[in-house]
Amino acid sequence: MRHDTIERSVNLMMVLIILAVSIGGLVELIPLMYSSEANEPAEGIEVYSPIRLAGRDVYVREGCYNCHSQMVRPFRSETERYGPYTTAGETVYDRPFQFGSKRTGPDLARVGGRYSDAWQRLHLQNPRALVPESTMPTYAWLEDRPVDPELLTAKLETLQFLGDPYTDEQIASAAAEVEGVSEMDALIAYLQGLGTNRRNRR
Amino acid sequence: MPAFWHWFIAIGTVVFIIWCAWLISWSAKQGPQNVADEDLVGHKWDGDLEEWNNPAPKWWLYLYFITIIWGVGYLIAYPGLGAFEGALDWSQHNQYEAEMAAAAERYDPIYEDFAAMEFEELSRHPEANQLGASLYASYCTTCHGSDARGAAGYPNLTDDDWLWGDSEAQIVSTIANGRVAVMPALAPALGGDEGTANMVRYVRSLSGIEEADSGAASMQPMFVALCSACHMADGTGNPMLGAPNLTDDVWLYGSSSDAIMTALVHGRNGVMPAHGDLLGTNRSKILAAYVYNLSAAERQAD
């Protein structure tokens, strides 16, 4: 059999395997990098304000994405509960994006404004104070951790370097903006902004 | 996406499929320069385990071809080849719109019939209440509790005491547009710690929890000056502002001295978020009627 030829030549086999494995990715991924739908911000989407950016990083660090997705799929059962479905253009400033693939808790893509700041704070301090059957961990200690202004400034500079439209003034004033702001405050600011660009459905 | 990339996808996919088909059929054939079927491939394991150079089983080979045929059929029927939209004209967006339209056709008339009903009557309608209960379970339990009895800062919806009013318009507006209560931190204006403590006792005396001593009673003019704009001079509150009645035994944050002290020192900012975007007008009314009915028992008892 001719497959013998391929199997006996490690180099040929390697080339063919690489070709077979990569072509799908090439065809699916590379064009997306040039798609305006995926690269340009959707209506109402702006870069994260410094406080919200700090909150986003708390969200990533604490692994909230292990239990919460941030992608409303285009099904009625989802849009009824969470709001309009997510589009690619809404996540252009998410590095990395927080789509997630597990929903132990609800999707958070449009949680902004659904609850009050006070609710979010109490809920993060002790979820069971508000939802007795909740399995979400407590994050009370975020209250005692201040946001690091230097780290935040460095992050903003990096994002600006990568092409996010932060202005120099925004970066210069970021450190002062987060003075006295705890990681809890920043996380709440982040949550309260999620998905607020598209609320209207009816 | 520029046209180039559509072609890149389409040509890349088609060429790759053809190549896969060719590679599989090529390698499955007997080649002249290769060893014959009966020959061993030359590997030897564990001393005497050897391998024939047999062709792959037919069913295995056919699986490959079936997969390829399936893929071609899929690419003809559904969008996959660049800008080609597929013979079935299917799209994720269209499917969603169709699902929504089907649901609207089925449910909208029900909602409309309910929404056209008179509010009191709607609030006693068993099916409307079932609908209201399921809406309540999806959107409201996280704050007002699954029994609707609330918690500190989250009002009890089963009592007939209303912060923001109990008319149809008021309840619908509470649900659809939300409410923001503003109780400013007024302790600095009350004359230091002693004045604040006296005011706490004065507030408690309004509902008869404790007797007003002379210190507390002396705060009465201060109450009229500072608090009556929202709570009224007699402390009975104002539903326009969501300012609670301080003379009854229903408390939003609790009747303890500590809770009242916190209101004076830090202020209070209860927020009921707007739900109109999620619910729409008809369902806001159905839910309002359900909420109104939760306190029907207490209303009748009065």
Burial A112-150 (b: 16+ CB within 10 A, else e): bbbbbeebbbbbbbebeebbeeeebeebeebeeeebebe
Domain shared by A69 and A122, yes or no? yes
Q: What is the pTM of this model?
A: 0.85
Least confident of A19-33, A139-153, B20-34, B116-130: B20-34
Domain shared by A114 and A162, yes or no? yes
Domain shared by A112 and A159, yes or no? yes
Domain shared by A29 and A102, yes or no? no
CA distance B48 to A108: 61
Domain shared by A130 and A184, yes or no? yes
Identity of the residue in A30, A36, A118 whose CB atom sits nearest the CB atom of B269: A118
Is A10 inside any structural domain? Answer: yes
Count CB-CB contacts under 10 A for residue A164. 17
Is A42 inside any structural domain? Answer: no
Do B278 and A201 count as a contact with CB atoms less than 8 A apart? yes
Residue that the structure tokens 């927080």 belong to? A98
Q: Which domains does chain B have, with CATH numbers?
A: 1-22+36-90 (no CATH), 99-178+273-301 (1.10.760.10), 182-272 (1.10.760.10)
Least confident of B53-67, B96-110, B166-180: B53-67
Share of chain B above pLDDT 70, in %: 96
Provide the sign of the torsion angle of the four alpha carbons B119, B122, B124, B130, taken in this order.
negative
Q: What CA–CA distances, in Å, run from B291 to A80, A164, B148? A: 20, 46, 9
Name the closest residue on chain A to residue B138, using Cα atoms.
Answer: A81
Q: How confident is the model at residue A81, as a pLDDT?
A: 87
Q: Does B278 touch chain A (CB under 8 A)?
A: yes
In tens, the pLDDT along B195-211 reads 999 999 999 999 999 88
Identity of the residue in A3, A131, A201 whose CB atom sits nearest the CB atom of B142: A131
Q: How confident is the model at residue B36, as a pLDDT?
A: 54
Which 8-state DSSP code applies to residue A84?
A: S
Q: Could you tell me the CATH number of the domain that includes residue A148? A: 1.10.760.10
Is A14 inside any structural domain? Answer: yes
Q: Which residues of B touch A117 (CB under 8 A)?
A: 271
> Mean pLDDT in chain B?
91
Task: Note whether B131 and B113 are within 8 A (CB).
Answer: no
Q: Which residues of B touch A83 (CB under 8 A)?
A: 277-278
CA distance A110 to B283: 20
What are the start-end ranges of the H helices in B49-140?
Answer: 58-77, 92-116, 119-123, 126-139
Residue A171 belongs to what H/E stretch? helix A168-177
> Mean pLDDT in chain A?
91
Domain shared by A136 and A189, yes or no? yes
CA distance B236 to B229: 11
Tally of domains in chain A: 2
Domain shared by A96 and A15, yes or no? no
Residue B180 belongs to what H/E stretch? strand B179-180
Domain shared by A68 and A160, yes or no? yes
Q: How confident is the model at residue B45, as a pLDDT?
A: 87
Q: What CA–CA distances, in Å, run from B96 to B77, B99, B111, B178? A: 18, 5, 21, 29
Which of these, A151, A186, A156, lies nearest to A168 by C-alpha position? A156
In tens, the pLDDT along A2-14 reads 777 887 889 999 9
Please say if the pLDDT value at position B33 is more than 60: no
Q: How confident is the model at residue B48, as a pLDDT?
A: 83
Please say if the pLDDT value at position B144 is more than 60: yes
Q: How confident is the model at residue A6, as a pLDDT?
A: 83
Domain shared by A28 and A63, yes or no? no
Assess whether the previous peptide bond of A96 is cis (omega < 30° from 0). Answer: yes
Please say if the pLDDT value at position A130 is more than 90: no
Is A141 inside any structural domain? Answer: yes
Q: Which residues of B touch A119 (CB under 8 A)?
A: 142-143, 271
Domain that holds residue A18: 3-34
Name the closest residue on chain B to residue A111, using Cα atoms.
Answer: B273
Tokens standing for A144? 């005692």
In tens, the pLDDT along A58-70 reads 999 999 999 999 9
Which of these, A19, A201, A194, lies nearest to A90 by C-alpha position? A194
Residue B220 belongs to what H/E stretch? helix B220-226
Q: How confident is the model at residue B32, as a pLDDT?
A: 54
Domain shared by A78 and A148, yes or no? yes
Is A43 inside any structural domain? Answer: no
Please say if the pLDDT value at position A27 is more than 70: yes
Phi, psi dihedral angles at A169 (to 5 degrees):
-65, -40
Q: Which residues of A touch B99 (CB under 8 A)?
A: 75-76
Q: Which neighbouring-strand residues pair with B179?
A: B272
- Give the pLDDT band (50/70/90) at residue A202: very low
Q: How confident is the model at residue A198, as a pLDDT?
A: 75
Q: How confident is the model at residue B51, as a pLDDT?
A: 77
Tokens standing for A140? 């009370």
Cα–chain center distance at B129: 20
- Give the pLDDT band (50/70/90) at residue B31: low
Q: Which residues of B touch A79 (CB under 8 A)?
A: 96, 100
- Give the pLDDT band (50/70/90) at residue B55: confident
What are the start-end ranges of the H helices in A88-133?
Answer: 117-125, 127-130
Q: Which neighbouring-strand residues pair with B44?
A: B50
Least confident of A129-133, A152-156, B39-43, B241-245: B39-43
Domain shared by A90 and A29, yes or no? no
Which amino acid, A146?
A: P
Q: How confident is the model at residue A200, as a pLDDT?
A: 58
Is A173 inside any structural domain? Answer: yes
Is A40 inside any structural domain? Answer: no
Q: What is the 3-state secondary structure (H, E, C) of B228-297?
A: HHHHCCCCCCECCCCECCCCCCCCCCCCCHHHHHHHHHHCECCEECCCHHHHHHHHHHHHHHHHHHHCHH
CA distance A171 to A154: 9
In tens, the pLDDT along A38-84 reads 888 888 899 999 999 999 999 999 999 999 999 999 999 998 888 89
Is A25 inside any structural domain? Answer: yes
Domain shared by A23 and A53, yes or no? no
Distance in Å, alpha carbon of A58 to nearest chain B alpha carbon? 23
